[in-house]
């Protein structure tokens, strides 16, 4: 029903899949229960930077709960990118580089630089976006991972179609 007919599974198979998934990743339903409880009790959620989301028009519906479950990771990723973007711009200005930060794409940064600086530019972006975190739930340390691409336009490289497009680079 939820996929609008794009995915067709018998109910028993779908239930088995959910049980398997939830048994493999029990932290996900546990987290969702914590988020729902916090939304119900306080009407405030927090991202990993401690920034609040005030739920002003609270309605306990399945759709709203999905929004609440997604808010913390989406907000955290957006804030990581905002901070990395600002750090990259400050670095460029402080070092007087011929680089430009062009786009904050919510979970990505696009910059331009002379071709001979592409590796160094990619390394700096990676450094700024891969911030260390400690989980407020279990104290586990982690970093958001990233990848770096370089090219002469923003579309992906495709042989005989976009030979100057973005290719993965190791930094």
- CA 38, CA 33: separation in Å to the nearest integer? 9
Residue 84 in tokens: 């990395």
Spatial neighbors of 144 by CB under 8 A, at least 6 apart, are 77, 80, 129, 130, 131, 133
pLDDT for 1 equals 67
The answer to whether residues 79 and 106 touch, using CB atoms and an 8 Å cutoff, is no
Listing DSSP states for 85-132 in one string gives: HHHHHHHHHHHT-S-EEEEE-SS-EEEE--GGGHHHHHHHHHHHHS-E
Q: How many CB atoms lie within 10 A of CB 60?
A: 10
Could you report the per-residue pLDDT of 62-111, keeping only the tens digit for each?
A: 888 999 999 999 999 999 999 999 999 999 999 999 999 999 998 999 99
Confidence of residue 59 (pLDDT cuts 50, 70, 90): confident
Q: Which of 39, 21, 40, 17 is nearest to 29 (CA)?
A: 21
- What is the rounded average pLDDT of the residues 113-121? 96
pTM over 0.85: no
Q: Are 39 and 68 in contact (CB under 8 A)?
A: yes
Interatomic CA distance for residues 84 and 59, integer angstroms: 34
Place of tokens 């759709």: 63
DSSP 117: G
Highest mean pLDDT out of 9-13, 98-102, 131-135, 139-143: 98-102
Instruction: Please give the helix or strand (H or E) that residue 109 lies within, else none.
Output: strand 109-112
């Amino acid at each position: 029903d939820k996929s609008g007919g794009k995915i067709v599974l018998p109910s028993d198979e779908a239930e088995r899949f959910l049980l398997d998934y939830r048994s493999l990743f029990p932290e996900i339903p546990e987290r969702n229960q914590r988020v729902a409880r916090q939304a119900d009790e306080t009407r405030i959620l927090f991202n990993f930077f401690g920034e609040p989301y005030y739920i002003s028009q609270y309605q306990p519906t399945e759709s709203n709960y999905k929004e609440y479950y997604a808010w913390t990771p989406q907000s955290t990723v957006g804030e990581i990118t905002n901070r990395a973007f600002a750090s990259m711009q400050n670095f460029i200005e402080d070092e007087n580089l011929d680089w430009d930060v062009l786009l904050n794409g919510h979970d990505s940064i696009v910059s331009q630089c002379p071709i001979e600086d592409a590796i160094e530019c990619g390394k700096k972006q990676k450094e700024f976006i891969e911030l260390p975190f400690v989980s407020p739930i279990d104290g586990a340390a982690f970093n958001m991972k990233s990848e770096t691409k370089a090219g002469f336009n923003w579309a992906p490289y495709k042989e005989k179609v976009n030979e100057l497009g973005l290719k993965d680079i190791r930094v």
